């Protein structure tokens, strides 16, 4: 009985401590616009706990913090986690970004993990719990600041960049634009959805789903939009949509040209494609041997499918002949930059958390432990051939007729490091706009907007 009472008491104490932090997060700010520092200028970070549910027990929780950056300087420490903000000052002696990470840990150094506190007995509660399970359950901050970021330059591009792509696009020109469509049910009576397969150069066709407003039948015309997907690893799936917009023509394509169920795909086809996309037992696009040759790099077929998808969109009945848009996030953001720069007349590109900007720095320097650069390690190992696919290089080819919006750039996103985003931005001569978000990782944005979180920059064509 005494043992049971002791265990119960310990559990109650832990629950009391844990409950204080189950809705908590850390708000990070700097003493000025985080994009406006000069080399050598002090950068003052203030990390303030938010939404604590009660008093923090003394000596139970700590803030484990680290400082890394583009200068190779590393610092770290641990301080008591209280209601008082943690203030840290650093600087960069060269153009680039600094990264500050801080995570709440217990007195044994173990990362605190939130528990779901809602009511999971209702459908809404279950949905909320499912969303919670997909989130980062730590109490943390991950952000940074930059110095002289407008002077950052990307790695030199291949000397024959344009000649290489002229040769690849000529391959596409030899394949007629031919599509097969199969209508699927749509829950919007004012639109129609089709599974589509479009012939393309390379190993696989363009596949995806095309939605068309029903008003096209009455002679109305609409903007056309290409939507692209994020990195899928080995999942290789494209679910049939049930709904569609009725104010745009939309072609949503997958990255692989996979066979759709409407065209007879089975689970065996999906499993086979998973193996087909891999190279030397690496997930697609990551094999340095395959990437040594720019004509067989996995990205080659992806670029051609993006270009062919745009070519096809311009043939769809009901396009207004004027507005051609492209949008996507992460790998989809990379494909969006390809779309804008591949010469098909895209008028608006909306690229979020853009992957593969300045691949040399990420894939060579950040992967080298001796450099001690900020990073998360999830980078494609550099080969010279990857310069043909770098978003920063395609960004130079975006015409002045295309407005380009970077919908989110996280100052704590080291899947797509802010240095690379800044270099891509600097390479653009088109009209452009970017939203930098303090405390944002690749898949995380602080749960509440606050003064000092969002910073928008705009520039006209140059």
pLDDT of residue 49: 97
- Ordered alpha helix ranges (H), 123-218: 123-133, 161-173
Burial category of 118 from C-beta neighbours within 10 Å (exposed 0-12, middle 13-18, buried 19 and up):
middle
Give the length of the chain: 462
User: Per the structure block, which two tokens stand in for 403?
Assistant: 């407005």
Cβ-Cβ contacts under 8 Å for 166 (sequence gap 6 or more): none
Q: Give CA angle at 438 (43, 430), nearest 5°.
A: 100
Domains present along the chain, CATH in parentheses: 13-150 (2.60.40.3880), 161-459 (3.40.50.1820)
Q: Are 334 and 298 contacting, i.e. CB atoms less than 8 angstroms apart?
A: no
Residue 321's pLDDT is: 98
pLDDT per position as a tens digit, 298-339: 999 999 999 999 999 999 999 999 999 999 999 999 999 999
Going by the DSSP 8-state scheme, the letter that residue 225 receives in this structure is E
Q: How far apart are CA 128 and CA 378, in angstroms?
A: 29
**Can you give the pLDDT at residue 18?**
53
Which residues of the chain register pLDDT less than 70? Answer: 1-18, 124, 128-129, 132
257 neighbors 301 (Cβ within 8 angstroms)? yes
Which pLDDT value is given to residue 9? 37
pLDDT at 233: 86
What is the predicted pLDDT for the residue at 125?
72
Spatial CB neighbours of 263, under 8 Å, sequence gap ≥ 6: 180, 182, 195, 197, 207
């Amino acid at each position: 009985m005494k043992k049971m009472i002791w265990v119960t008491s310990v559990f109650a104490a832990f629950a009391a401590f844990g409950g204080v932090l189950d809705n908590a997060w850390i708000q990070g700010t700097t003493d000025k616009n985080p994009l406006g520092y000069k080399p050598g200028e002090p950068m003052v970070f203030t990390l303030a706990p938010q939404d604590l549910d009660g008093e923090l027990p003394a000596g139970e929780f700590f803030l484990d913090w680290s400082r890394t950056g583009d200068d190779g300087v590393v610092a770290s420490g641990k301080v008591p986690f209280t209601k008082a903000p943690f203030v840290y000052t650093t600087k960069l002696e060269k153009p680039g970004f600094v990264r500050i990470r801080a995570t709440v840990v217990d007195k044994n150094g173990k990362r605190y993990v939130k528990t779901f506190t809602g009511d999971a007995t209702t459908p809404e509660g279950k949905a909320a719990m499912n969303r919670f399970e997909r989130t980062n359950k730590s109490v943390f901050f991950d952000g940074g600041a930059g110095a002289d970021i407008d002077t950052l330059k990307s790695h030199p591009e291949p000397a024959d960049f344009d000649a290489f792509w002229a040769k690849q696009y000529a391959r596409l020109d030899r394949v007629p634009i031919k599509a097969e469509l199969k209508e699927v049910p749509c829950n919007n009576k004012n639109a129609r959805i089709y599974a589509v397969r479009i012939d393309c150069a390379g190993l696989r066709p363009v596949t995806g789903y095309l939605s068309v407003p029903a008003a096209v039948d009455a002679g109305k015309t609409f903007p056309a939009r290409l939507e692209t997907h994020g990195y899928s690893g080995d999942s290789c799936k494209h679910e049939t949509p049930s709904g569609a917009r009725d104010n745009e023509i939309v072609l949503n394509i997958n990255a692989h040209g996979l066979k759709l169920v409407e065209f007879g795909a089975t689970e065996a086809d999906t499993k086979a494609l998973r193996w087909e996309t891999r190279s030397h037992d690496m997930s697609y696009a990551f094999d340095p041997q395959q990437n040594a040759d720019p004509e067989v790099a996995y990205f080659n077929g992806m670029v051609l499918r993006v270009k062919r998808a745009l070519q096809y969109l311009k043939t769809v009945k009901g396009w207004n002949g004027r507005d051609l848009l492209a949008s996507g996030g992460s790998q989809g953001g990379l494909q969006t930059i390809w779309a804008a720069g591949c010469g098909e007349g895209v008028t608006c590109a909306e690229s979020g958390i853009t992957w593969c900007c300045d691949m040399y720095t990420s894939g060579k320097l950040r992967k080298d432990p001796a450099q001690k650069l900020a990073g998360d390690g999830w980078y494609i190992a550099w080969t010279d051939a990857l310069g043909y696919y770098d978003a920063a290089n395609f960004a130079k080819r975006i015409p002045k007729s295309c407005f380009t919006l970077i919908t989110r750039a996280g100052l704590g996103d080291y899947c797509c490091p802010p240095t690379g985003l800044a270099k891509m931005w600097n390479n653009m001569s088109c009209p452009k706009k970017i939203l930098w978000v303090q405390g944002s990782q690749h898949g995380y944005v602080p749960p509440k907007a606050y003064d000092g979180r969002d910073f928008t920059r705009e520039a006209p064509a140059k």
